[in-house]
């Protein structure tokens, strides 16, 4: 049985995504973010932590294209370096949630019985808390650092992936190809990850791209409250927090806000594109 996880299918899906107008645009923006994060030391015109005391709260100019903040630091340079924080959150935190949530969901859905009941009760308990509130509680216990913020974002997103994967597994585990693999003596682990997982991964990737945008917003919210990336590490959320204190210096909050908005919108475009492409491939 050919699945979405096979190489030919993925090449066709990627080609279709590149021809999807919004999906291709989102991919271009995400590629730009990755490019900017990797080349930040060469792209940023100034050191993001160095202050120019003669240019404190300077508006956008030829010297400082996006202006400076209350300490005389270049806004453009801090936005460029802030892409590294965004990339770390989008890749590390969401990838961790995908892996852990998928494993939990696979075990819960395939095992069933009391194992499924016990896991789902824990998942339900975690989902009872709003995402940001639960993340705030975890960071408050672990301490306000970027690493702890990413751990918190990973933990709060595990239940969503677990429920998604469990629902998919419940609908697949009694299909003929799974029964055939079971009849041939395949182990439970092999059945779950060799036969069921390829049929689940498409929906997981779609949801993962959408979760990356909410994870980025959560990290920015934590940094806005002083619980994420700590000074002098540039973070879009902390830049927004600083800008809120100076209403006349509109550039301090507008430009980081535009950067955050653009990346979140691009990630949602990628998710929409993946959904359309994978749905089209499934229905063929």
CA 85 vs. chain centroid, Å, equals: 11
pLDDT at 284: 47
Evaluate if residue 1 carries a pLDDT over 70. no
pLDDT at 205: 86
pLDDT at 282: 45
pLDDT at 279: 67
pTM, two decimals, is 0.87
> What confidence category does residue 277 fall into, taking pLDDT thresholds of 50, 70 and 90?
confident
Q: Which of 52-61, 222-231, 273-282 has the lowest mean pLDDT?
A: 273-282
Q: For 242-264, what is the mean pLDDT? A: 92
Decide if 153 contacts 90 (C-beta within 8 A): no
Percentage, residues of the chain above pLDDT 90: 56
Q: Assess whether the previous peptide bond of 8 is cis (omega < 30° from 0).
A: no
Q: Which of 8-17, 89-98, 123-132, 171-180 has the lowest mean pLDDT?
A: 8-17
> Tens digits of per-residue pLDDT, 143-163?
999 899 999 999 999 999 999
Average pLDDT score over the chain: 87
> Tens digits of per-residue pLDDT, 55-108?
899 999 999 999 999 899 999 999 999 999 888 888 899 999 999 999 999 999
Decide if 237 contacts 221 (C-beta within 8 A): yes
pLDDT at 13: 67
CATH of 84-238+254-283, one of 3.40.50.1100, 1.10.3720.10, 1.10.287.3510, 1.10.357.10: 1.10.3720.10
Evaluate if residue 195 carries a pLDDT over 90. no
């Amino acid at each position: 049985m050919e699945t979405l996880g096979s190489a030919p299918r993925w090449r066709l899906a990627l080609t279709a995504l590149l021809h999807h107008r919004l999906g291709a645009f989102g991919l271009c923006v995400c590629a730009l973010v990755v490019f900017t994060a990797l080349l930040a030391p060469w792209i940023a015109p100034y050191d993001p932590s160095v202050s120019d005391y003669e240019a404190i709260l300077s508006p956008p100019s030829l010297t400082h294209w996006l202006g400076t903040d209350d300490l005389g630091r270049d806004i453009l340079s801090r936005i460029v370096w802030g892409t590294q924080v965004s990339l770390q959150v989008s890749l590390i935190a969401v990838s961790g949630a995908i892996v852990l949530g998928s494993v939990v969901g696979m075990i819960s859905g395939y095992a069933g019985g009391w194992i499924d009941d016990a896991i789902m009760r824990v998942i339900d308990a975690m989902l009872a808390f709003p995402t940001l509130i639960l993340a705030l509680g975890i960071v408050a216990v672990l301490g306000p650092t970027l690493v702890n913020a990413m751990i918190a974002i990973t933990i709060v997103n595990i239940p969503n992936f677990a429920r998604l994967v469990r629902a998919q597994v419940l609908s697949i585990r009694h299909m003929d190809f799974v029964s055939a693999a079971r009849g041939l003596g395949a182990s439970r682990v092999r059945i779950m990850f060799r036969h069921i997982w390829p049929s689940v991964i498409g929906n997981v990737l779609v949801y993962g791209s959408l979760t990356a945008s909410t994870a980025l917003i959560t990290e920015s919210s934590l940094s806005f409250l002083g619980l994420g990336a700590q000074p002098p590490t540039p973070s879009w959320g902390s830049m927004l927090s600083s800008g809120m204190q100076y209403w006349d210096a509109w550039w301090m909050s507008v430009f980081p806000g535009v950067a955050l908005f653009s990346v979140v919108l691009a990630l949602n475009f990628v998710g929409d594109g993946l959904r359309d492409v994978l749905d089209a491939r499934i229905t063929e």
